[in-house]
Amino acid sequence: MSEKKFDLVVIGSGPGGYVASIVAAQKGMKVANIEKSQTLGGTCLNVGCIPSKAMLYASEQYENSTKKNGNEDWGINYNQVSLDLPKLLNKKSSIVEELTKGIDFLFKKNKVTKYFGEAKLISSNSIEIMNNGKKDTIYSEKIIIATGSKPTSLPKIDIDEKRIVTSTGALNLSHVPKKMIVIGGGIIGLEMGTIWRRLGSDVEVLEYLPRILPGMDNEVAEKFLKIVQKQGITFKLNHAVESAQINDKAVLLSVKDVVTGSIKKLEADVVLVAVGRKPNTDGLGLENINLDIDKQGFINTNKNFQTSIPNIYAIGDVIRGPMLAHKAEEDGVAAVEIINGEAGHVDYNLVPGIIYTSPEVAVIGKTEEELKENGVSYNKGVFPLSANSRAKAINHTEGFVKILSDKSTDKILGAHMIGHEAGTVIHELSMAMGFGASSEDVARICHGHPTVNEAIKEAALATYSKAIHF
């Protein structure tokens, strides 16, 4: 029995789960991690963040090796550029394999015991593990549920991961579709649509709402829509998919214009369903222990990540908050600190959101719409990248930096950026906001020249009408 009794058992080895396991082991706890799949890393590493970013990189390199992006203007000419899709997919898979092995190494280094199989809670302290017909039971003082999320489906649409796919299937298509329809104008849909457009697909996005990127700053969404339209992706906003049928040649969609009520018939080789994600709690046996969940399936927790059963905690995508890998990691660290008697905390206002297209989109903190809704008076500073010397020099002038600061205190409340390496550049403002900095604080920091980060300095200056280069 002692061999199977632990201080902490973590269910799930995604970013939240594996980080929580390692941090807990580093603090001296006897830790076990249970993973349903036969590889570590969860959705992010295996079929999400990492493979999609690898394919975004590869597809951008392919497009940059053609004349589609205007390289000929720079005196760079390419001939006989071709795509070897199987080789691209193999490279993507090898990156994933290397990283999953890395987690395995870290588990061994930190003496985390790993189990593969389906976990089911039998009681508040016991977990049954089923793997290939073999049943095992382990026991723990504390349990963390970190099982992540899975794609949301739509009524009357049967996903086969071949012709009608989620992001998982879209990462493993055997050929470049002539026509791809993406259902959903959120981050996943736009990233995956970008990949296949670059590789040669005619991509069209259907979005139920009158805008893309729901929840993001409106100004960012409007500008980004124009950019991706110019790149070649077409959009039908205010459209709902009523049904989908597969025949020998195509996927047939019945689509309703929610404004006029008219019905359209559309065809595509592949349809990607990217309408969001939902908590992955099926089969965990939560009903066995009467663990409380909300109507959307999220596990209810208090500020300390405790569920309705005090010794069981939940983190990441199975609880409320941004459904992002880095948020899950922070949850994992904070939950373990709390379990260990420390003061763990995550400020969800300081979790950046990033779209890894070209240009990238990066946001943190409050949007203008949120500030207006809450009656907060604010100053706004905007600086276009077309006025940034580094952006000019590297031919990445599309986009802008926007900073929102409190009108009375000048404290930075939010930052929004479209531009080259925005996902990296935004962390200057993440750090500033974490320390409660004002726009003037950022503006008075000497920024290297020429860098894209100078646009942040200028946007900070613009919050009090002192921009120098625009």
Please measure the distance between the N-terminal and C-terminal CA atoms of the chain and give it in whole angstroms.
70
Residues 6+ apart with CB under 8 A from 170: 192, 195, 196, 270, 272
Summarize the chain as % helix, strand, coil (round to 5). Answer: 35, 25, 40
Helices (H), 345-411: 368-373, 389-393
Contacts of 258-267 with CB under 8 Å at 24 or more apart are 258/208, 264/239, 266/181, 266/204, 267/179
Cβ atoms 447, 456 nearer than 8 A: yes
**Nearest-angstrom CA–CA distance, 154 and 157:** 6
Instruction: Map residue 332 onto helix, strand or coil.
Output: helix
Helix or strand run (H / E) with residue 434: helix 427-434
CB–CB of 171/51 below 8 Å? yes
* Greatest C-alpha distance within the chain: 71
If phi > 0 it is left, if psi is from -120 to 50 it is alpha, else beta; for residue 285 that is left
Rg value, the chain, Cα: 24
Tell me the backbone φ, ψ of residue 325, rounded to 5 degrees. Answer: -60, -45
Query: 423's torsion region: left (phi>0), alpha (psi -120 to 50) or beta?
Result: alpha
Compute the distance between CA of residue 417 and CA of residue 195 in angstroms, rounded to an integer. Answer: 21
Which 3-state string (H, E, C) describes 287-333?
HHCCCCECCCCCECCCCCCECCCCCEEECHHHCCCCCCHHHHHHHHH
Which one is catalytic: 175, 345, 427, 449? 449
Q: What are phi and psi of 231, to 5 degrees?
A: -75, -15
Residue with tokens 């390496």: 421
* Residues listed for the chain: 470
Q: Is 469 a catalytic residue?
A: no
Q: Which residues are catalytic?
A: 449
